[in-house]
Chains A and B, each alone.
Chain A
Amino acid sequence: MKSAVIVFPGTNRDGDAVRALKSVGSQVEKVWHAETALPSGTDLVVLGGGFSYGDYLRCGAIAGRAPIMDAVRAHAARGGLVLGICNGFQILCESGLLPGILMRNANLKFICHRQFLKVERNDTAFTKAYAKGQAIDVCVAHGEGNYTADGETLKRIEGEGLVAFRYSDAHGHVTPDANRNGSMNSIAGIYSDKLNVLGMMPHPENLIEDLIGGTDGRGLFESLMTFTAKAA
């Protein structure tokens, strides 16, 4: 698998994404936002976490319109894989690659803690290594993760099975208490219509080694490796 990790001014989790990708055997290249093309043969584009452009205007708004994003949109339109984590999810929403928007957390607090997610489906490029309904233990760290969409969009996302992850308890039960940022329907991550673009607020790349407290995030990167190996 060849991965491209996009770096915007203010992105600060690109290193962790690179590390997670390399740990499952991917080739990885960092790509500066002012570039207009992706490295040839790119299978997966990753937009990592951070505070691109200092969150000016709206989180992800300016990065979502950066020169490289035209290439990322073209990659997605060809069916190429795109993963946006945290600020990367905000950028995907602002760039039009995913519907809806991430608003300020309902409780107005920056939240930073371990978080269980319920895996909604395990038949996508991103989740094959998990079981359907499994609760995975990862992390969240954000101030604007409150997923919001208009009623019609939400209905479509739910109807077409485009919800990737929901905030849950350790048993995979989606409870109001587990939904600390106030997201509609406890949505933690969503797919594009063709399931090749995933945006998620939580950080799977944080939990890839026992040494740092868990490995539940690893499955996502392993899934991508398996998927691209089969496609090649």
Chain B
Amino acid sequence: MKARVTVTLKNGVLDPQGKAIEGALQSLGVDGIGSVRQGKVFDIELNTTDKAKAEASLKAACEKLLANTVIENYKIDLI
């Protein structure tokens, strides 16, 4: 079983990297970009076929390490 975990900054947390990317896109003349926020994606292979077990492991992974919940949210998608 595979999963994709997406970690994004919470609303209201300043994201200077996203801002810099936003500025770069504007200077490249890419139209229609309102704003950019940068996040992280983790593609994870699981050693189980039990969906509930997989979800529990992924939640633990997110809470313990992948996301810092002071500033970040996470989303788990089983693929």
- A interface residues (Cβ-Cβ under 8 A, vs B): 57-58, 61-62, 65, 94, 99-101, 103-108, 146, 148-150, 182
Which residues of B35-66 have CB atoms within 8 Å of chain A's CB atoms? 64-66
Question: Which of A100, A101, A149 has the most chain B CB atoms closer than 10 A to its own CB?
Answer: A101
With A103-B71, A148-B71: A108-B17 Cβ-Cβ less than 8 Å: yes
Question: Which of B17, B64, B65 has the most chain A CB atoms closer than 10 A to its own CB?
Answer: B65
Question: Residue-by-residue, is B12-23 near A (CB-CB < 8 Å gives 1, otherwise 0)?
Answer: 011011001000
Q: Find out whether the CB atom of A106 lies under 8 angstroms from the CB atom of B14.
A: yes
- The 8 Å CB contact of A94, one of B13, B16, B17, B68, is B68
Q: How far is the CB of A16 from chain B (nearest CB, A)?
A: 28
In the complex formed, the residue of A with least CB distance to B64 is: A65
A103-B14, A182-B14 are known; give 11 further A-B pairs, CB within 8 A: A57-B65, A65-B65, A94-B68, A101-B68, A101-B70, A101-B71, A104-B16, A106-B14, A108-B16, A108-B17, A149-B70
Q: How far is the CB of B7 from chain A (nearest CB, A)?
A: 9
Q: How far is the CB of A130 from chain B (nearest CB, A)?
A: 30
Q: Is the interface of B mostly helix, strand, loop or mixed?
A: helix
Question: Residue-by-residue, is B62-79 near A (CB-CB < 8 Å gives 1, otherwise 0)?
Answer: 001110101100000000
User: What residues of B have a CB within 8 angstroms of the CB of A58 in the complex?
Assistant: 68
Q: How far is the CB of B1 from chain A (nearest CB, A)?
A: 23
Interface residues on B, range: 10 to 19
User: What residues of B have a CB within 8 angstroms of the CB of A57 in the complex?
Assistant: 65-66
A–B Cβ pairs within 8 angstroms, 26 of them: A57-B65, A58-B68, A61-B65, A61-B68, A65-B64, A65-B65, A94-B68, A100-B70, A101-B68, A101-B71, A103-B13, A103-B14, A103-B16, A104-B16, A104-B17, A105-B16, A106-B14, A107-B16, A108-B16, A108-B20, A146-B14, A148-B13, A148-B14, A148-B71, A149-B70, A182-B14
A108 to B66, CA, bound (A): 23
In the complex formed, the residue of B with least CB distance to A100 is: B70
In the complex formed, the residue of A with least CB distance to B70 is: A101
Q: How far is the CB of A21 from chain B (nearest CB, A)?
A: 30
User: What residues of A have a CB within 8 angstroms of the CB of B64 in the complex?
Assistant: 65
Q: How far is the CB of B55 from chain A (nearest CB, A)?
A: 21
User: What residues of B have a CB within 8 angstroms of the CB of A106 in the complex?
Assistant: 14, 16
Q: How far is the CB of B74 from chain A (nearest CB, A)?
A: 13
User: What residues of A have a CB within 8 angstroms of the CB of B17 in the complex?
Assistant: 104, 108
User: What residues of B have a CB within 8 angstroms of the CB of A94 in the complex?
Assistant: 68
A57 to B72, CA, bound (A): 12
A107 to B71, CA, bound (A): 19
